[in-house]
Structure 1
Amino acid sequence: EGRDILKKLAAHVDVIIENGTPGQWDKWGIGYRQLSKLNPRLVYCWVGQRGQWGPLRDKPGMRDPVAQCASGFVHGTGDPKEFGGRPTRSGMWVADHVGGTAAAMGIVAALLHRERTSGKGQLIEATAAEGIIRILDYNWVWHGMDGSIRPRYGNWDLAINIYAVNPCKDGYMMVGGGHDRLWYRIWKTVGDEVPQAEEEILADTNLRNISERLPHTRQVKTYTLLCEWLKDNTRAEAERKLVRQEVASGGVLAVHEVAEYPHFKYRGQVEEFDDQLYGKVLVASSPHLAEKIPARLKWIGRPVGHDNEEVYRRLLGFTRDDFDRLGKHGVI
């Protein structure tokens, strides 16, 4: 009876998203093959970790960390083995976020195709592992050129000398020197207070172009000299001095510092939201600001089934007797 209810709902909706075991909804007669016959305009999106097809397709229990590991992301993250490091997964659920974003973009593309071209919906599949595989583009170019595997290098960068997080007086500081103009502006800033550091860098003929700066021993030298300056500067002081020279830089902020950071506060990126179920909750607002379609937050984390009665009543005409009977039998 529950499947019959879902079929009736499918006739009214634009999009269905599900993440059941591959093929499970088809076996139940409520997969895309069946529902698209009832609603040809339906966009049906399946989301998971590795996909519905293939020898390693999703099985129960697979979660975000499995996708991170399967995609190559974890292998390339963390300190090198030589430094006592090991592969490190992201502290955030990055695979779920990237996979979910891929699903959202696929859904929007399918809806546009339906409205502008075909008049019909389609099946969309988005996986967390393949979402991460897509964003590791630098690794694929590296491997494709000579078969090598991009190694872990911790906070430092294999392609840019001075593009890393390093300690400063009150925490950690990110400084980016991706090209010669920034490189020399960094050392001009340092030289204002530690002139011998700037002089040593300028005198070293091995540091005069980007590619020659990359060997590990040369990175050790430049970061050592940079940290001699950073240790006497707070994050705010270092950022102010570097930005004065138009150098990309910024301190590593904890969550409580982000919440009070003047720039983000001015733009309303962290705000208190008064939710109808949970009261006042601190949340991050929409990352995109739009002139004609401003984002708005209606609610957060609604319990599963919270809107069932409203939806069933509005779309299917259910009455209180229907809810009591279906609830009693565990259908909804």
Structure 2
Amino acid sequence: MSALPLSGIKILDLTRVLAGPLSAQMFGDLGAEVIKIERPGAGDDARAYGPPYLVDPEGRETNNNAFYLSANRNKKSITVNIATLEGQEIIRGLAAHADVFMENYKVGDLKRYGLDYGTIKEINPGIIYCSVTGFGQTGPYAPRAGYDAIFQAMGGLMSVTGQMDGEPGAGPMKVGTSIVDYMTGMNASIGILSALYHRKVNGGAGQLIDVSLFDTVIASLSHSLQIYLVSGKSPPRRGTWGNGGAPAGVFRCADGELMLVVGNDGQFARTCAVLGAPELVSNPKFIKNNDRVANYTEIMAIYAGLFLRNTVTYWLQKLEDAGVPCGPVNDFAQVFEDPHVQARGMRVKVNHKFASELSLIRNALTFSKTPITGYRAPPLLGENTDQVLSGILRYDSEKIEDLKKQGVI
């Protein structure tokens, strides 16, 4: 079997919480050696982000909770107090051997410790240094801190998410998951991979990558934001209604809900036939997609009445047979019960010290030549400190024990 795509790449990961750790986890999945730097005693802030926690053999909660476990597999954890001179020396020593340095401290924080890009590139000119921040390295908001929900609000995402005006519960709404963190992690990964390729083909030059959550959420609004740029008008919140093809949205059936997206005129004709209302196809209000968009409320109301006449299972089968895109509205349990999800192996099992069969979500990438076949459990706090310091920096056991006594590691 071929080596993983990023075998031989070494990542020094000083990121915490979610966006940065998700990106570093991606590199670990792809075969890079990822060395995660955590604070002695406390570790990554994510370890304190609430239950559920894994418990030790005595039934006591540990600092290995679901939030931390979601973003830190396939890494090594070492504890280093970067506020100490000795800790800073350790980080600079590791950086000298690294391909990539990742951090998500507030702008300027690491300069106080001699761990900023300018200092690190003097030690390692080829280093790819990726800074993940809320607002980026420049601009009036650069010094500010922030979290996912703040950027969903400030970047405009919440303005187009939620129930339509005039309906119960109308108003801006946060997306259920930390979607901006996830997208920022993906952007960081793309940036680092691009910089690694540039370094390989252009003479070994490293560089600084500036990735921000605020930039990411704005860019992610894509066609919604482009509507504003073209028309000068912000698109309204549409609840579960679609934004292009019509009709599209969640429809209540006799025993639950399904999501339907009618993407073109042919699909509309087939959906009307399934629903027992073929006459709708020749109605002047609904002949073309733009006609249906102009009369969206009316066609949605007609469809809503038709779907109530039978069950979710019945309609899904009929629509699938007709080649119309649709799907059930699943909760998380139903997601992992889905036979397609099971066939794709989206749940993987790893052996963790506190859970012999810990379930994780597999990486979404599938390679034909270099498949991701191994998943290591997210590390315990400082699990690999001795191994990394002795292996990379050649510290002997006496020096390591002395650093532990001083609280450096």
Return the TM-score normalized by structure 2.
Answer: 0.75
Cα displacement (A) at 1:129:
1.9
Which moved further from structure 2: 241-250 or 299-308?
Answer: 299-308
SS in 2 for 1:111: helix
Unaligned runs of 5+ in 1: 192-196
Q: Note the C-alpha offset of 1:126.
A: 1.1
Paired position in structure 1 for 2:156: 72
Number of aligned positions between the proteins: 323
* Match of residue 198 from structure 1: 278
Aligned pair in 2 of structure 1 residues 273, 222: CA closer, same or farther (>3 Å)?
Answer: farther
**1:135-184 CA distance string (max 9 Å, x none):** 21112321121211111111113433211112123321111111101111
Q: Aligned pair in 2 of structure 1 residues 115, 302: CA closer, same or farther (>3 Å)?
A: same
Aligned residue for 1:55, secondary structure, equals: coil
Query: Following the alignment from structure 2 to structure 1, what is the Cα–Cα distance between the partners of residues 101 and 189?
Result: 12
What residue is the counterpart of 1:19 in the other structure?
A: 104
The answer to whether residue 380 in structure 2 is matched with residue 303 in structure 1 is: yes
CA contact under 8 A between 2:133 and 2:211: conserved in structure 1?
yes
**Residue 33 of structure 2 corresponds to residue 33 of structure 1:** no
Question: Within 1, Cα distance between the matches of 2:304 and 2:199?
Answer: 56
Identify the residue that residue 401 of structure 2 maps to in structure 1: 324
- After TM superposition, list the pairs within 5 Å mapping 1:260-275 onto structure 2: 260-275=337-352
Distance 2:300 2:184 in 1: 36
Question: In structure 2, how many angstroms separate the alpha carbons of the residues matched to 1:24 and 1:321?
Answer: 31
Alignment partners' CA distance in 2, 1:58 and 1:172: 45
1:210 to 260, 270, 289: 289
What's the CA shift for 1:209?
1.2
Equivalents in 2 of 1:158, 1:277: separation in Å? 45
SS of the equivalent of 2:105 reads coil
Contact 1:189 1:242 in 2 (8 A): yes
Residue 165 of structure 2 corresponds to residue 81 of structure 1? yes
Q: Structure 2: how far apart are the matches of 1:173 and 1:26?
A: 52
Is the alpha carbon distance of 1:48 and 1:234 closer, same or farther for their aligned partners in structure 2, counting shifts above 3 Å?
farther
Q: Tell me the residue number matched to 1:233.
A: 310
Asked if the contact 1:49/1:127 (under 8 Å) is kept, the reply is yes
Is the 1:78–1:86 contact (alpha carbons within 8 Å) kept by the matching residues of 2? yes
Distance 1:254 1:31 in 2: 44
Q: Please give the alpha-carbon distance, in whole angstroms, between the structure 1 residues aligned to 2:379 and 2:175.
A: 26
Kept in 2, the 8 Å contact 1:276–1:299? The answer is no
- Shift in alpha-carbon separation, 1:277–1:14, aligned structure 2, 3 A: farther
1:122 to 181, 189, 207: 207
Give 3-state SS (helix, strand or coil) of 1:326's partner.
helix
Q: Who is 2:257 aligned against?
A: 172
Q: Aligned partners of 2:90, 2:349: CA distance in 1, in Å?
A: 38
Secondary structure at 1:80 match in 2: coil
- 1:194 paired residue number: none
Residue type of the partner of 2:116? G
Task: Assess if the C-alpha contact under 8 Å between 2:162 and 2:173 holds in 1.
Answer: yes
User: Which residue identity does 2:392 align to in structure 1?
Assistant: L
Q: Which amino acid aligns with 1:262?
A: P
What aligned pairs does 1:148-167 form with structure 2 within 5 A after superposition?
A: 148-167=233-252
Query: For residue 288 of structure 1, what is the aligned residue in structure 2?
Result: 365
Counterpart secondary structure, 1:240: helix
C-alpha contact 2:350 2:377 (8 A) present in aligned 1: no
Counterpart secondary structure, 1:78: coil
- Percent identity over the alignment is 27
Structure 2 stretches lacking a partner, 5+ long: 1-85
CA distance in 2, matches of 1:95, 1:58: 19
Tell me the CA shift for residue 323 of structure 1: 2.0
How far did residue 281 of structure 1 move? 2.0
Structure with the greater relative contact order (CA < 8 A, sep ≥ 6): 1 or 2? 2
User: Deviations along 1:16-54, whole A, 9 cap, x unmatched?
Assistant: 111111011123211110110111111111112211221
CA separation in 1, counterparts of 2:232 and 2:332? 40
